[in-house]
Amino acid sequence: MKNRARHIAIIMDGNGRWAEQQGKKRVKGHEAGAKVVKEITTYCSNNEDIQRLTLYAFSTENWKRPRLEVEFLMKLLEKYLKDELPSYLQNNVKFEPIGDTRAFSKSLQKTIKMVEEKTAHCDGLVQSLALNYGAQDEILRAVNSLKKSSNEITNEMLSNALDCKEDVDILIRTGGDTRLSNFLLWQAAYAELFFLEKLWPDFTSRDLEKIIKNFTKIERRFGGLK
């Protein structure tokens, strides 16, 4: 029986470098990257095997970037969510953020909550944006929430306490680096990893289609022999 790519996670790396290679400001790369997010989300929403698409949009470490770039990313995120709401509804996509969004402005928090609520009834693809997200932070918050339990913490208890409760089947990173960068460390324990040299603004649904095709041929043993 072939593998089904139910949960795809992507580290969308290379926006800034893409812009710099073209002699443009880094923010232009982020704008181009947002268009690719729309293309990939639409593709996944039309693939009945794919249930969840988790995209690494802003990490807990991204606050270290130049202030103006961070401010632009916040504005771009808010604009993206407002602009994409009709597309979410049209494609039956449920928006579900993960991460600690309390660090964002009240306006951005309000927009995130609004889109989440307005798409809550959608039962097609779940598009999950990782916002102010870091896997170590996620695990620490989950452990702290379970400290009051008098029972020994189990795998199932910890999984259910995480922001993202679904195991990853395919994890993709664009941009040439071959590391996970604090992304879904628990959920990606048995994910198949695909690292691409291509920068995120150049990534296409055809690239994703090729990866999924390769994934279906992989023998996934999960530590066993078969």
Please tell me the distance from the alpha carbon of residue 38 to that of residue 24, in angstroms, as a whole number: 22
> Residue 153 has what DSSP assignment?
P
Q: How many Cα atoms occupy the beta-carbon half-sphere of 203 within 13 Å?
A: 34
Across 63-86, b (16+ Cβ under 10 Å) vs e yields eeeeeeeeebbeebbbebbeebbe
With a CB cutoff of 8 Å and minimum separation 6, the contacts of 25 are 19
**Closest-CA residue to 47 (of 125, 160, 115, 157):** 125
- Is the separation of the CB atoms in 171 and 193 below 8 Å? yes
- For residue 170, the cross-strand partners are 8, 192
Active site residues: 13, 62
- For residue 129, the cross-strand partners are 55
